[in-house]
Amino acid sequence: MFLQGFGEVLTDIMTVNPEVSGLSNASSILDTSNYTFHAVTYGKDAQGFNFHAHSVSTVNRVDGEDDGTVSGYNDDHVIAVNYTNAGTMVSSYPASAAHNTFSATYISLPQYPAINHERLELSSTQTTPSPSFSAAGPNLGHYPNAYMDTTLSNAWTILGGFAPPSSAGKFCHLYNSAGTILTSGVLSGVYNQNGVIDKNGYVKVSQVSGLDATLGDTQGAELSGGPVIFSSHGSVQPSAGNTALVVVPQQGDAATLALYGGINHIGVYCLDLPAMLASGITPPYSYNALNNNRIYKLVSKVSFLDNLLNHEDISTLSGLIDGLSEGTGLTNKGPTYILKFNFL
């Protein structure tokens, strides 16, 4: 749904003084690129940021061997426990099983959207189970990208939620509740590999002019640059007042997000132009994943009670229904979400 932030952006568009076009150091304020979709975030239930792979592991066999007590950062591994002991779920992480196991203390309902929301989850999303963080974990309302945060990167395997680039891939280990390792692998993310996500988990929208009629693997190069705005597919046509956003948590990022509890929210953001101008940040607003000074305004929020990264171990079927690492599972192919917007 559109939030009041979208109305505020429309107001900014309609009330900006056109006379600034005559000022050489301010004319870029009128550039239409300032007022389109610029970022997306992924979120889940607030309490989930203290469960799933966010938890400090009590499993001592991090590398499949008994090597003593696991550290506060899970020995630099991503560790999750599959509390479903069904034989067909050996390489899957069902986030619902964690809730079923800890239902006395874990309320896993995501925040239902309301028009006045300015973040995905209103309650705290600060991850707190590790006693040895060198700095306080973020409370953003959505998934952070702690790998990119120099003050928190040593705690990445607890905070999540996006995989590092291939040059710094991290091991993930999935155990059952008895402490037996079920599967393991190396997490390597597309977003950090391509530098399209900052430390606060804002994934830059690629300003590609449009996509071909087929939204398949042939679009991988464009989609690896972040979500893509398009208006040239099926019922999505500018003449009908429609546009859409293709969002793809690809490959290692999809597997990593699934281990940390999945996705229940997708947030869409525009630039908060008045806030940036008030802070002395003037256009054009270039993007820098390492030092992103853009200020974003949440303008749309799509929320689901079900986890969008549900997956199962059935190797004869493709897509999400194939575990974390087997066949065509999340490690090899991320899901595609198409968010359609009707402006009429």
What is the Cα–Cα distance from 306 to 285, expressed in whole angstroms?
A: 36
**36-73 pLDDT tens trace:** 899 999 999 999 999 999 988 877 665 555 555 677 78
Residue 224 in tokens: 């690896």
Q: Residue ranges of the domains in the chain? A: 4-342
**155-203 pLDDT tens trace:** 889 998 899 998 888 888 898 888 888 888 888 888 999 999 999 999 9
Residue 110 has a pLDDT of 95
What is the Cα–Cα distance from 46 to 279, expressed in whole angstroms?
A: 30
Which residues, at least 6 apart from 335, have a Cβ–Cβ distance to it below 8 Å? 248, 249, 254, 308, 309, 319, 320
Summary mean pLDDT of the chain:
83
Are the C-beta atoms of 102 and 194 separated by less than 8 Å? no
**127-158 pLDDT tens trace:** 987 666 667 789 999 999 999 988 888 888 99
Residue 189 has a pLDDT of 87
- β-partners of residue 338 are 246
Kindly report the pTM of this predicted structure.
0.91
What is the Cα–Cα distance from 14 to 262, expressed in whole angstroms?
A: 38
- Bond before 161 cis per omega within 30 degrees: yes
For the residues 88-97, what does the mean pLDDT come to? Answer: 86
Cβ atoms within 10 Å, residue 104 = 5
Query: CA 126 → CA 57, 86, 140, 200, 218, distances in Å?
Result: 18, 32, 8, 12, 38
